[in-house]
Amino acid sequence: MMMEIISNNIFIYTILGCNVLLLILYIINLISVKKIKKNYYNFMKKIGNGNNIDEMLKDYIKKVEDVNSKNQEIISFCSKLQDSVSLSFKKIGMVKYNAFKNVGNDLSFALALLNDNNDGFILNGIYSAEMSNIYAKQIKNGKCNSRLLEEEKKALEIAINCLNSENYLDN
């Protein structure tokens, strides 16, 4: 029976000793972590020239996220703008001519205005000494349902093949 008590006391003392040892190790660990945190804070302050670089990095990351958000808005806006611009008239073809033999100076004209899809219209301004008329014809996919005059065909061809703004006029 005595052996049981001694063996129980040894067990209790062993557990007590382990607990004390663990408590000491825990306190040492806390002190080490505190020193590491202090060194980290001082290091970050030193790198940041007196400012906490950790806070600076957080602010920088927030700014980068804001810039990314703005970039997405800009990309979306540019996409909508590109769709809109593709429908605007960018291709121009113009042919000046004399509609009548007795009128000089090429005062009549055929003007083709097309978008990127070759949709648009042709204006034909016919000038004579007595009057001036302008006629419009719709163009769809580079084709017209109405009969085109030679000058209108040439203006349409110039507009369809128009690659830059210097190449839109045929004298």
For 57-82, what is each residue's pLDDT tens digit?
A: 888 999 999 999 999 999 999 999 88
Question: Same domain, yes or no, for 36 and 69?
Answer: no
Give the mean pLDDT of 140-144. 93
Question: Same domain, yes or no, for 108 and 45?
Answer: no
- Range list of β-strands (E), the chain: 91-97, 108-114, 120-127, 132-140, 143-144, 169-170
Residue 125 has a CB neighbour count (10 Å cut-off) of 15
Average pLDDT across the chain, whole number: 86
pLDDT at 137 over 80: yes
CA–CA distance, 72 with 66 (Å, rounded to integer): 10
Q: What range does the domain containing 122 cover?
A: 91-170
Question: Same domain, yes or no, for 96 and 166?
Answer: yes
pLDDT in tens, 84-117: 888 888 899 999 998 887 767 788 999 999 998 8
Do the Cβ atoms of 149 and 157 come closer than 8 Å? no
Question: Same domain, yes or no, for 112 and 56?
Answer: no
Question: Same domain, yes or no, for 157 and 108?
Answer: yes
More confident residue, 70 or 41: 70
Question: Same domain, yes or no, for 116 and 157?
Answer: yes
Q: How many domains does the chain have?
A: 3
Question: Same domain, yes or no, for 104 and 164?
Answer: yes
pLDDT at 53 over 80: no
Residue 83, pLDDT score: 83
Question: Same domain, yes or no, for 78 and 124?
Answer: no
pTM above 0.75, yes or no: no
Question: Same domain, yes or no, for 119 and 158?
Answer: yes
Question: Same domain, yes or no, for 80 and 127?
Answer: no
Name the least confident of 37-51, 78-92, 132-146. 37-51
pLDDT at 165 over 50: no
Do the Cβ atoms of 91 and 162 come closer than 8 Å? yes
Question: Same domain, yes or no, for 44 and 57?
Answer: no
Residue 82, pLDDT score: 86
Question: Same domain, yes or no, for 104 and 166?
Answer: yes
